[in-house]
Chain A
Amino acid sequence: MKKHILLVDDEAPILEVLESYLTGRGFRVSAVQSAAEARKVVQVDAPQLVITDLQLEAEDGLQLVEQLKILRPTMPVILLTGVLFDPKVVEERLSKKVAAYVSKTTSLKQLLSEVQRLVGPP
């Protein structure tokens, strides 16, 4: 059975590219544009990994991460954002909450290697 990845981003073009890429690499992908939809998916069809943007339309991505930790404590989360954080901030603050932080300027190939590091091959 293919591994399930949940994508959360309020920008449809971002979701489209990520979904195409990860599906092409053999993963089963669900894509949603809000935190509420993300929570529904996690409850109904728990993914092996969540990739979420920091800035969502109605909620903060970090808040969503907190909520997902309650629902699925062992499920890894990658924070994907266009906001460039200071590496020290990433290390000290974000690393405690998320399994990985990936900038949107990073290549898809590097994102994939991060995904495979956390969940293995498809």
Chain B
Amino acid sequence: MSTDSPGFVGADGRTFRRLLVLLLLVLAVLAFVVVESLRNLDRSIAASDWVNHTHAVISEADAIDANLAAAEGDLRTYLLTGEQRDRDTCQETFSDLAGHVDVAKALTRAAPTQYQQVLQIESLLAQRASLARELLRARAGGPGPTVAGLLAGDAGGAAAHEISRRLLALKDEQNELLAARDTAAYLQAQTTRWTVLTGTGLDILLLVAAAWLIRDDLAARRRAAAALQEANDRLETRVRERTAELAAINAQLVAQNLEDRWSHQALEHQLRYSQLIINSISDLVLVVTKALNISRLNPAVTRLTGLTAADLVDQPLARIVRLTRERGDTAPLRFDPIAQAFADGRDLRSHPAILTDHLGRTTPVRLDAFPLRDRDKVVGGVIILQPAAAPPPG
């Protein structure tokens, strides 16, 4: 049986259906055996009744035959003795005979053929009884020719013989039926035996098949459970491994995050500290590009010029600073000393200049210019302005 989930579910349903079919078959066989057995029992009971009935008919036929012989004998005895006692006995015997005939009629009334036979016998017996009555009447008057005449007309008991023959035929017929019935009963008993044995054997086989199915199903379930447990164990192991991996990765990420934050804070701290240093300087500090455009300035520039970073960044330095010559030297500058110094990669120290504020007011200053080097390349410069000392009076 498959141990995959869908297959297993299917196998489970299939096994159940098969078991159900086997159970239904067992019940069907059992029901058949019970029904057949009960029917056979009923037939046996009916046969037993019939046998009793048939024996009763045979018994009555025997009784009629015996009674007839006794009645004939009693009649002859009376005819010989003429005694009243013998007459009474004869009459009683004939009366008994009639009684047996009535019983025989009652027993055979349900079987038309037999009933007709009994009626014929009764008719013959009636003739004998009539003759007997005549003989009794005749003898009552004494022995005489009348009695002799009646006896001669009886022709040697042929009628009685006929009655006996018919009774015998009736009995033989009943005996044949009994024999046939015995055979049928035997066959029926055999049939019942084989029905029970076969039904029982079949049921046992079906139950064995059901037991085998159940055993097979249980084995499949155990295998499936073991496979499931194994799969669960593998899954749990994999989950544990993966959890450990994720935990390790997470720890790495946390550590990396902390490192990143640490680096960021260190950098931010450095920048802030550098900015604090520059902002603390009272001199005017401007950072310029190679093209001498202003890129940064310190608060001292704003204090003295009234111009903010928004006003000055990306503006030419010349907007607020103009280089001059030394006092007394009025010749115009032929070149930009700052640009020249940066091009040469050297400092420019204490050069006179004029600072102009936002209102156009000027202030003489001394200018220092330092090239900014990044990996030995001049990328711009730092301009420091100090207010020039006022000349001594006079």
Q: B273 — nearest CB in chain A belongs to which residue? A: A82
C-alpha spacing A84/B269, complex, angstroms: 11
Tell me whether A74 is interfacial, beta carbon within 8 Å.
no
Tell me whether B266 is interfacial, beta carbon within 8 Å.
yes
Interface of B is mostly: helix
- Whether the pair B258, A108 counts as a contact (CB closer than 8 A) is yes
- Which of A17-25, A44-52, A57-65, A113-121 contacts its partner? A17-25
Known: A24-B254, A82-B273, A83-B273. A108 touches B259 (CB 8 A): yes
C-alpha spacing A19/B250, complex, angstroms: 18
- Whether the pair B270, A20 counts as a contact (CB closer than 8 A) is no
Tell me whether B50 is interfacial, beta carbon within 8 Å.
no
C-alpha spacing A86/B340, complex, angstroms: 33
List A contacts of B254 (CB < 8 A): 24
- Whether the pair B270, A105 counts as a contact (CB closer than 8 A) is yes
C-alpha spacing A18/B258, complex, angstroms: 8
Interface size class of A (residues with CB under 8 A): 10 to 19
List A contacts of B269 (CB < 8 A): 11, 14, 82, 104
List A contacts of B258 (CB < 8 A): 17, 20-21, 24, 108
Q: Which residues of B, 264-289, contact A by the 8 Å Cβ criterion?
A: 265-267, 269-270, 273
Minimum CB–CB distance for A59 against chain B, Å: 18
Minimum CB–CB distance for B195 against chain A, Å: 87
- Whether the pair A17, B255 counts as a contact (CB closer than 8 A) is no
Tell me whether B32 is interfacial, beta carbon within 8 Å.
no
Give the interface centre of A14, A83, A104, A109 by most chain B CB atoms within 10 Å.
A104
> Which one of A21, A24, A82, A109 lies within 8 Å of B266 (CB-CB)?
A82
- Whether the pair A104, B266 counts as a contact (CB closer than 8 A) is yes
List B contacts of A108 (CB < 8 A): 255, 258-259, 262
List A contacts of B261 (CB < 8 A): 13, 17
List A contacts of B127 (CB < 8 A): none
Q: B256 — nearest CB in chain A belongs to which residue? A: A108
Give the interface centre of A18, A108, A109 by most chain B CB atoms within 10 Å.
A108
> Which one of A17, A83, A84 lies within 8 Å of B265 (CB-CB)?
A17
C-alpha spacing A103/B295, complex, angstroms: 29
A-contact bits for B229-273, CB 8 A (1 contact / 0 none): 000000000000000000000010011001101110111011001
C-alpha spacing A105/B263, complex, angstroms: 6
Known: A21-B255, A24-B255. A82 touches B262 (CB 8 A): no
List A contacts of B251 (CB < 8 A): 24
- Whether the pair A107, B255 counts as a contact (CB closer than 8 A) is no
Minimum CB–CB distance for B285 against chain A, Å: 20
C-alpha spacing A24/B257, complex, angstroms: 13
- Whether the pair B270, A107 counts as a contact (CB closer than 8 A) is no
Give the interface centre of B251, B255, B261, B269 by most chain A CB atoms within 10 Å.
B269
List B contacts of A103 (CB < 8 A): 266
Q: 4 tightest CB-CB pairs across the interface, nearest first?
A: A104-B266, A82-B269, A105-B266, A21-B258
Give A contacts to B, CB under 8 Å.
Answer: 11, 13-14, 17-18, 20-21, 24, 82-84, 103-105, 107-109
